[in-house]
Structure 1
């Protein structure tokens, strides 16, 4: 029997489910990121300037591709949350992030994705913008939660630390730029960089967890089987 991140024991079937969840999360992050990238680069608008969400405005083919990609990313976050159940704070943050990303895909903004304080907004603009901000913020806080948790595997903690150290200042710069100058080239580049960090973190985390369980070993203890203590027979003199 294998040991969980809590130190208890689980059946091998549960181990396999965790591995499959992690692998599916990695695959979903690649699929979703590819769809969003195609919509942003090939679709209408500048590949670097403006908000990424502007690619989801309208009823054409590329807006649909963009929204489908966001849904795929949302599903990957939910799957990763299932694979990270022992790190409860991170799991719940990822559930919130996935749910918020789904709302962001379901409620598109208007052309230009206006946000306060520089532009007049509607309810749909606020819902879309708020959901997008919540999704990204919860992903960044999930990185911090994994790094902070003592039950997290060492490899995942290192990955979360590097990702959080990169994402936190970029997030702060985006917020400051949005308040001071609004959307534009600076915000567009920083937003794309932040989304790239989150996507890579989700992908690599899923791969690390899946590979650990595929080798039938505890991703925390790095051992294949929890050995039972045995009693030695007394030596005869």
Structure 2
């Protein structure tokens, strides 16, 4: 096997991974399915922890994800969840920043949970609070943001139990989001590079938006965000993102 690859994470993804990583260590899944894995920055990390399968519909992102995940022993399928072999089951099914891109979030989630092995877990992250919906959400094709109650109800509606939802990203996430909104508002207003009016088309490229590609940039972001990954633990009920963990409907 080639040397393991650990791609750079965005600032927000560093905050999220700091919450996801210890949760994974506690759950200790033997195999993981990630839906909408983007360019595989998280997938490459997951593949170092367990047998990993990722799914990504955007061709450009899928190619990058494959290059990153394969050396770590994982596999990335090109397409949506229908590409997962029929009857396949996993200890953990996860999707990070995906549900908000889907018009029929409940319908797709109902399909996803069928891949959870009896007793297995679902882990999803989404942006928090509809009142915070702004230009950055519009630019990348979000349909909505969620409150903890809405996310809990959504997971319960597809048969999940033992649902735990926490926030992450306090306090620096608010500043990051404000900057992202300003940059996105300018991009949306650029006549020379019009943004598609179709949410699905904006979603298709969202996994590539503002993703760091250089190793040095990733190290700078990781070191710069390190103090904030610790500070956010002081306020797990505050922040701009939600992370939910639940037991699948097969119990």
TM over 0.5: no
- Which has more strand, going by share of residues? 2
TM-score, normalising length: structure 1? 0.28
TM-score, normalising length: structure 2? 0.27
- Which has more helix, going by share of residues? 1
